[in-house]
Amino acid sequence: MEERSNRFRDVLVGTSGYSYVEWIDAGFYPRSTPQKAMLPLYRESFRATELNYTWYQMPKAEPIERMCARVDSGFRFAVKLTRTMTHEVVRGRWRKEVKRYREGLDPLVRSGKLLAVLIQFPFSFYRSIDHRNYLAALVEELAGLPLAVEFRHDSWACDPVFAEFEKRGITLVTVDMPPLAHLFPCLDVVTNPGLAYLRFHGRNVLGWGSGSMQRQFDYDYSDDELAELLERVINPMAAKADTSAFFFNNHVRGQAPKNARTLIPMLSGQSGQGLAKGA
């Protein structure tokens, strides 16, 4: 895919979730910050976030609408698809789950603040006939929404998948993870020229297999690691898309916002132009 002339036109840097009490101790939020005040404070640093809670529970229109009201029109949300459509799928029921999800997401769609629906599949979702058929059916049910798909199994890292995503206008999510067998590789492939998407999960090899999310995502990227990713993955991705989104999922001990704040001036230097506050 050729580079686009509007390189670095819109770059969004943020974190996977924003409502973490431990970020108060880490110094990102002031002492005694109530949960409802976190999003406006987060907006002072970043222009986008991922909503993680929608993986655990179905989004509901009323709280989503309140969330939209706490940020300005330039803010964007990437919203995880609920686990009943990715990890705990029940045949004969999942289409009803899609309908409920779309209804809950409606305020974000109407406000223009929806960046993408993040469809995150587990490592067990390898590239088989059944899984390919389910994925095709799922994206059909979600038609009309901006879709970004994250695979954990490397069997999906192949040209036929990339070509099909390109044909359907689906964003392939690039992931930075520990170098463990059969995890999806960190590629600079962009399948949707409208949106490039990279998630930083950290490289905690021991934590990744521990079964503890606190250990799994406990990682602090060094400046050298970010600089290497900038040259090898981030710059090539940003050169191929109108909008680029880079989200840090290493939320433990406030490392995600710390690393995101480090990346923003790096991007500014590479682009040769000042980026808006929060990238």
Q: What's the pLDDT at 1?
A: 35
pLDDT digits (tens, 9 = 90+) for 114-166: 999 999 999 999 999 999 999 999 999 999 999 999 999 999 999 999 999 99
- Is the pLDDT at 104 greater than 80, yes or no? yes
Q: What is 10-271's CATH topology?
A: TIM Barrel (3.20.20)
Strands 10-16, 243-248: parallel, antiparallel or unpaired by DSSP? Answer: parallel
Q: Considering only CA atoms, which of 16, 62, 44 is closest in space to residue 247?
A: 16
Q: What's the pLDDT at 268?
A: 78
Task: Determine the Cα–Cα distance for residues 124 and 152; give it in Å rounded to an integer.
Answer: 8
DSSP 8-state symbol, 154? G
Q: Name the percent of the chain lying above pLDDT 70.
A: 93
Mean pLDDT of the chain: 92
More confidently predicted of 197 and 206:
197
Task: Determine the Cα–Cα distance for residues 92 and 20; give it in Å rounded to an integer.
Answer: 36
Task: Determine the Cα–Cα distance for residues 237 and 8; give it in Å rounded to an integer.
Answer: 10
DSSP three-state, residue 73: coil
Q: What's the pLDDT at 213?
A: 80
Strands 147-150, 171-176: parallel, antiparallel or unpaired by DSSP? Answer: parallel
Task: Determine the Cα–Cα distance for residues 234 and 226; give it in Å rounded to an integer.
Answer: 9
Q: Can you give the residue ranges of every domain in the chain?
A: 10-271
Q: Which two tokens stand for residue 184?
A: 């999806």
What's the length of the chain? Answer: 279
Q: Which helix (H) or strand (E) holds 244?
A: strand 243-248
Q: Which two tokens stand for residue 73?
A: 């029109």
Is the entire prediction scored with pTM above 0.85?
A: yes
